[in-house]
Amino acid sequence: MPGGGVTLSATTDVDRVEAPVTVKTYLMCAFAAFGGIYFGYDSGYINGVLGMNYYIHMQTGLPYSDSGDTTVWTLPSWKKSLIVSILSAGTFFGAIIAGDVADFIGRRTTIIVGCVIFLVGVILQTASASGLGLIVTGRLIAGFGVGFVSAIIVLYMSEIAPRKVRGAIVSGYQFFITIGLMMASCIDYGTQNRTDSGSYRIPIALQMLWALILGIGLLFLPESPRYFVKRGNIERATDVLARLRGQPRDSEFIQQELSEIIANHEYELQVIPQGSFLNSWFNCFRGGLRKPSSNLRRTILGTSLQMMQQWTGVNFVFYFGTTFFQTLGTINNPFLISMITTIVNVLSTPISFYTIEKFGRRPLLIWGALGMVICQFIVAIVGVTTDQSKAPISAMISFICIYVFFFASTWGPGAWVVIGEIYPLPIRSRGVALSTASNWLWNCIIAVITPYMVDADKGNLGARVFFIWGSLCACCFVYAYILIPETKGLSLEQVDRMLEETTPRTSSKWVPHSTFAADMGMTDKGTLATEIVADVERKGSVH
Ligand code: BGC
């Protein structure tokens, strides 16, 4: 029969029993989360390196005395800004391109390619000495690799995870981002006073380890079944799904899950036919603004959600925390306080593994934003109304830590979970890629403009900047209330239907009432019509 002897039964039982989630399934799906470490480490390590006296002396050519040199040197702003922002440029373009690559060679393979590109970039950076050539080229190439990895990991994890634990598994990605940030800050701290090239080469070279672990580990994991469905290879889709769920190929669980993926894909292709390369890109922006299920609305939701996540101001703490704490007069060790904020970030994230599945994405984003608003306004008010003595400063630092707690347990993971869930398969890879690119774009914009708002010789906002972050978090609160749908517990295909039938505010009440497989004319205990399997296989080209 067409489909190489694949027999798929379909069901109308909408809340069908899913294959039990075994520890092995969990570990297989969660392994990719490790890739988050790139994101965090890469964002984190460069600030420390650019502040290291050895590195500054090497770049500026100034003589370096390793004994008793206590002057605080800095690199010229344009050099700092070029070295920092060139990575974001690479990641932005890497993420956008990665979506197409993932539809062409597969999600897993794209991440592995990303690791190789990243390795090349890191080798160039490690080899760099004085002069900007190697460090800038290396960061551009590494950024490209990070773009590949960061965009496609979320896509891959969302597509392979069982629906009941998908939120928790994708939150694992955020967990590794936080670990990456923390490690970068600890390693910079450890090497900053070295008087040789090890000061910057150690933190840079260490990243090769992440690429090797992720790239090699992924060789042993299966590809996403949804990729194979998109390519019309039902045979392989069945194989990988069976492996991922730890069930035999012909088990009811596998047959039903696969029928639904296939039927949903067929349905989406009927609604929006794919056409040429350019046409299929335009599909991300079709369907108008009125319906929450239109592709345009979903693309705007994903990209704006990542933008809002950046506007929470979290990276002010992680990128500029040390300098901000330095300006608060009585602080003895700003580096240590910075490190503490990264530790709070790591320790708070796992709470979301539970809460994102128990309470859902929508409440987490709404109440998390409110928590952040309160903390930031307290920091701002204490900052402008008190002297810079010990007690008020301790209060400010405590509320910054509570703010980080709210971010880490809500908006940090929530934004990544939601962008992995809202797109239908025909535009999913590009949608997730665009949303990730938006994260990097706003990350970069905020990194560039913040010093102009805060620095004493520029906007000189100091602690008043928290009024701005607080107001933006208030916008996040309203944004989440009006626009975020509840996707918890649904399969990606059910999310697709839910978006068609509800508004964000009514979405949490939605319950699945039919399946795409049933709507496509397949009956309970029936077999997926051979014409459908044949059709899917015939159409299985890159869209
Ligand atoms: C954000 C990063 C941020 C990190 C902090 C991520 O979700 O996208 O910009 O640095 O969380 O943990």
Mean pLDDT estimate for the chain: 87
Pocket test for ligand 1, best of 84, 309, 348 (most atoms within 8 A of CB): 309
Report the candidate in 293, 325, 444 with the shortest Cα–Cα distance to residue 393: 325
Distances (CA, A) of 274 to 422, 426, 479, 534: 19, 8, 31, 18
Cβ contacts of residue 72 below 8 Å, gap of 6+? none
A 10 A CB-CB count for 196 gives 11
Instruction: Report CA(271)–ligand 1 centroid distance (Å).
Output: 35
pLDDT at 1: 35
A 10 A CB-CB count for 371 gives 19
Q: Is the pLDDT of residue 60 over 90?
A: no
- Alpha-carbon span 55 to 484, nearest angstrom: 45
Coil vs helix vs strand at 524: strand
Is 344 close to ligand 1, i.e. is its CB under 6 Å away?
Answer: no
pLDDT at 68: 53
Tell me the CB-side half-sphere exposure of residue 492, using CA atoms within 13 A: 31
Q: What is the pLDDT of residues 258-282, one digit of tens each?
A: 888 888 888 888 877 767 777 778 8
- Alpha-carbon span 161 to 168, nearest angstrom: 9
Is 480 close to ligand 1, i.e. is its CB under 6 Å away?
Answer: no
- Catalogue all structural domains in the chain, each as residue range(s) with its CATH number: 23-225+288-483 (1.20.1250.20)
| DSSP symbols for 461-475 | -GGGHHHHHHHHHHH
Coil vs helix vs strand at 191: helix
pLDDT at 20: 80
Is 409 close to ligand 1, i.e. is its CB under 6 Å away?
Answer: no
- Alpha-carbon span 20 to 188, nearest angstrom: 43
Coil vs helix vs strand at 8: coil
As a whole number, mean pLDDT of residues 504-516 equals: 89
Is 308 close to ligand 1, i.e. is its CB under 6 Å away?
Answer: no
Is 345 close to ligand 1, i.e. is its CB under 6 Å away?
Answer: yes
Q: Is the pLDDT of residue 171 over 80?
A: yes
Helices (H), 410-424: 411-419
pLDDT at 30: 85
- Alpha-carbon span 211 to 389, nearest angstrom: 45
pTM: 0.88
As a whole number, mean pLDDT of residues 347-368 equals: 97
As a whole number, mean pLDDT of residues 228-246 equals: 93
Out of 73-82, 90-99, 160-169, pick the least confident: 73-82
Report residue 96 as tokens: 């956008």
Band (pLDDT 50/70/90 cuts) for residue 498 is: very high
Nearest-atom number in ligand 1 for the CA of 439 is: 8
As a whole number, mean pLDDT of residues 427-447 equals: 92
Q: Is the pLDDT of residue 347 over 80?
A: yes
Whole-number CA gyration radius for the chain: 24
